[in-house]
Amino acid sequence: MLVLGIETSCDETSVSVVGEKNGKPEILSNIISSQVPLHAKWGGVVPNLAAREHLKNLPLIIRKALEESGKKLEEIGLIAVTKGPGLIPALLVGTGAAKTLSYISKKPLIGIHHIEGHIYSSLIGKDPKSVRFPILCLVISGGHTQLVLMEKHFEYEIIGETQDDAVGEAFDKVARILGLGYPGGPAISKEAEEAASQKISGEPPSLPRPMINSGDLNFSFSGLKTAVLYLTKDRPALLDEGQRKIVAHEFQEAVSEVLEKKTLEAVRRFSPKTVLLSGGVSANRRIRERLASSLKESFPDVDYLIPDIRLTGDNAAMIATAGLLRLKLSDRIGNLDDNWKNLETKADLGLNR
Ligand code: KG4
Ligand code: ZN
Give 330's Cβ-side CA count (13 Å radius).
Answer: 18
Which of 141, 194, 310 most suits a substitution to test ligand 1, by most atoms within 8 Å of the C-beta?
141
Ligand 1 midpoint to CA 117 (Å): 15
d(CA 199, CA 242) in angstroms, rounded, equals 8
pLDDT of residue 335: 47
d(CA 346, CA 140) in angstroms, rounded, equals 17
Q: For 315-332, write each residue's pLDDT tens digit.
A: 999 999 999 999 998 765
Look up residue 21 and give its amino acid: K
CA 116 to chain centre: 10
pLDDT of residue 343: 64
d(CA 286, CA 256) in angstroms, rounded, equals 7
pLDDT of residue 247: 97
pLDDT of residue 334: 47
Mean pLDDT, rounded, for 288-316 = 98
pLDDT confidence band for 274 (50 / 70 / 90): very high
Distance spanning both ends of the chain, measured CA to CA: 41
Which residue puts its alpha carbon closest to atom 1 of ligand 1? 280
Mean pLDDT, rounded, for 218-245 = 95
More confident residue, 46 or 344: 46
pLDDT confidence band for 341 (50 / 70 / 90): low
Query: Model pTM?
Result: 0.94
More confident residue, 197 or 206: 206
Classify 70 as helix, strand or coil: coil
d(CA 315, CA 7) in angstroms, rounded, equals 6
Which of 91, 191, 281 most suits a substitution to test ligand 1, by most atoms within 8 Å of the C-beta?
281
**CB of 30 closer than 6 angstroms to any ligand 1 atom:** no
